[in-house]
Amino acid sequence: MPFEIVRNDIVNMKVDAIVNTANPRPIIGAGTDKAVHDKAGARLLLARKEIGNIAVGEAAITPAFDLDANYVIHTAGPIWRDGKSSEEALLASCFKNSLRLAKEKECESIAFPLISTGSYGFPKPIALQIAVREISSFLMENEMQIYLVVFEKQSFELSEKLFKSVSSYIDANYVSDKMNLEYGTSKLRRFDYEEMLLRESSYEITLKIPNLDGMLNNLDKGFSETLLYLIDRAGKKDSEIYKKANVDRKLFSKIRNNADYRPSKATAIAFAIALELDLDETSDLLSRAGYALSQSSKFDVIVKYFIENKKYDIFELNSVLFEFDQPLICM
């Protein structure tokens, strides 16, 4: 898929271009910079010296030498000072200029570290937001496989507010956790659990009437036809939706050209997010591909949290799924 968050060592990525968090001066720094130079060999430093100084926020490109890549893009990230010294704008420029160089070299794939979050002290939640924003903006207009590489899970952090909000929602809605915590077993019969819910005053039962205007006339249509109907209803171009869903053009073409095509559950959810469907419409779209959201799946509960809270950013959703050790959407 066009954008993936992966847990790996960036020097082991097999891509057209690897982005290196370079020192502004032509010397070998610490962290990612040292690892890239160690793997690429001594010729990389010679090539880097030919470039000279790189201004903060700018980028330059060299061959990758002994790395499993064609190019190394060197970008000088900002040092975090107080958040009032243009740090965010400079970090955004690192991503923009790196992607510009990759496009000029006709790269089909590129791997980024989370720039400036090591010894430069850039707050990881802010850096992640900037990375996701700049990458998603680029992908709306361009075709490229982009990886955001984190060495370990601890180097990847959500904002405390979002983490707590999702955690609370999971605690309140994840059936398996609730049964295990309160009853010491996940093997309660379904009707026993439902009876328990009826007894607890903290739970309210409401009847919801689905808001499925237009879909009643399309009851016999499959996933592909329903998806195209929803795109037309939204008044959007196909490319707007599949790019927002983080789905590549080839896969979308398969869906469009085959009325019987059955996508993966993750792909179906990605389109629901991209189309900003409500929970009822999402359930309807999923059912046409043979799927449903379950309270016993933490993955599904997180998806429901995003839809119920009208958070329709596929990249932010993937960030949360990554944090909770769940498979990512369309990745």
Q: Please identify every residue annotated as catalytic.
A: 33
* Angstrom distance (rounded) from CA 23 to CA 166: 37
Q: What 3-state class would DSSP assign to 19?
A: strand
Instruction: Say if residues 71 and 19 touch (Cβ distance below 8 Å).
Output: no
Distances (CA, A) of 234 to 87, 99, 244, 280: 37, 30, 13, 16
> What's the first-to-final CA gap in the chain, in angstroms?
6
Alpha-carbon gap, residue 193 to 220, rounded angstroms: 34
**In angstroms, what CA-CA distances link 282 with 76, 193, 198, 277, 288?**
43, 26, 26, 6, 10
| Phi, psi angle pair for 150, to nearest 5° | -115, 135
- Strands (DSSP E) contained in 165-294 are none
Contacts of 145 (CB under 8 A, 6+ apart): 1, 2, 4, 15, 108, 109, 110
Specify the amino acid at residue 221.
K
Residue 217 DSSP code: G
The answer to whether 149 and 8 have CB atoms below 8 angstroms apart is yes
**Angstrom distance (rounded) from CA 187 to CA 285:** 30
Backbone dihedral region for residue 330 (phi beyond 0: left; psi -120 to 50: alpha; all else: beta): left
